[in-house]
Amino acid sequence: MECYLDNSATTKCFDSVAAIMTQVMCQDYGNPSSMHMKGVQAEQYLRYAKDVIARILKVNEKEIFFTSGGTESDNLALIGSAYANCRAGRHLITTSIEHPAILQTMQYLEGQGFEVTYLPVDCYGRIRLEDLEYAMRQDTILVSIMHTNNELGSLQPVAEAGRLIKQMNPGTLFHVDAVQGFGKYRILPKKMGIDMLSVSGHKIHGPKGVGFLYINEAVKIQPIIFGGGQQRGMRSGTENVPAIAGLAKAAEEMYGNLDEDVNRLYALKQMFIDGVTQLDGVQINGLTGRESAPHVISVSFRGIRSEVLLHALEERGIYVSSGSACSSNKPGTAASATLRAIGLDKELMGSTLRFSLSVFTTEEEIRYALNALYEMVPMLRRFTRR
């Protein structure tokens, strides 16, 4: 059987998403900037998408801007706000376990003369609010903290951080990368002090190549893509209407049955953890239970290289990851930076796999994966010792 447990990398589209995208691509295919009826039809999909997302986040429709995905959203948030506010200061804050789309953008900004503070994390992958408080300065113009870590499933104290930032310096902008958190949690930017929020479509059973950035209307930010002036000049380029419609439909599906789906995911996650920890030499990284995300499980298998076990599982039709999909095939990049940041020893860093679930994951798949691990792990360890 096929057992897909790499949903933090990407997800299977909902049938309803494929259906609406086909409708837009094959029938309602107009350019939303056109003034004729085909253009009007296309524009209606954009309005529908903004309405769906704005209602979920409880924000204004005009504060939603569509992008090509989480990476572009992160780049626009960081670069656009840093350049627009540089006269107020050049100090930025982020964490040591951010996605490469944040870390590499911060490195770029350092090259442009900005100063970046990287907050450490504890052994569970969480920042300490006292470290954030200590790092804040009068010239801090932006703080960027991810909601849910893509490798560990660790949750950051986003609401508490938002309150702290605004209390210390109301002018400091707060950006949250919610690529792994949106669709699993109710995130309310206005209530949580979040000025900008990044989301990607393909993590919530929507299409690849689309996402959005929430930007509070009071935020001073400049565009980084120029051209036809679409989306009020904030993000030029003809809108990807089929993908945007698919993104909105996926968001509707995710939040239509959120509590029940999340409870089921936590039950499946616990079932997997209870099963895999019956093996000797296995360690769960990060917190478990509801103190962590419902869909991400980081497991170290002492004595077995992660790539070896990954491909052994693949031969059984079980698909997992050895880290962030954006960097797990690039040795020495941010895939291992997260594990280093939590203090994982070197041997375990090279023996870690990420199992990630979705609303499509079944108990049968969990049992199938566990049975394969019960067979493979002892065998691979014997082979390694030879």
Pairing relation of β-strands 140-144 and 173-177? parallel
Question: Could you give the 3-state DSSP secondary structure of residue 13?
Answer: coil
Task: Decide if 326 is catalytic.
Answer: yes
Q: What is the CA radius of gyration of the chain?
A: 21
Name the β-bridge partners of 284.
299
Catalytic position from the list 3, 13, 26, 326: 326
End-to-end CA distance of the chain: 31
Q: How far apart are CA 268 and CA 277, in angstroms?
A: 14
Q: What is the DSSP string of 329-361?
A: TSTTSHHHHHHHHTT--HHHHTTEEEEE--TT-
Say if residues 386 and 340 touch (Cβ distance below 8 Å). no
Question: Could you give the CA distance from residue 60 to residue 52 in angstroms, rounded to a whole number?
Answer: 11
- 53-57 contact pairs (CB < 8 A, 24+): 53/212, 53/214, 53/248, 53/251, 56/251, 56/255, 57/187, 57/188, 57/189, 57/197, 57/214
Quote the CA–CA distance of 115 and 142 in Å, as a whole number. Answer: 11
> Per residue in 156-174, is it b (16+ CB within 10 Å) or e — as a string?
bebeebbebbeeebeebbb
- Both tokens of 256, joined, read 């239509």
Known catalytic residues are 326
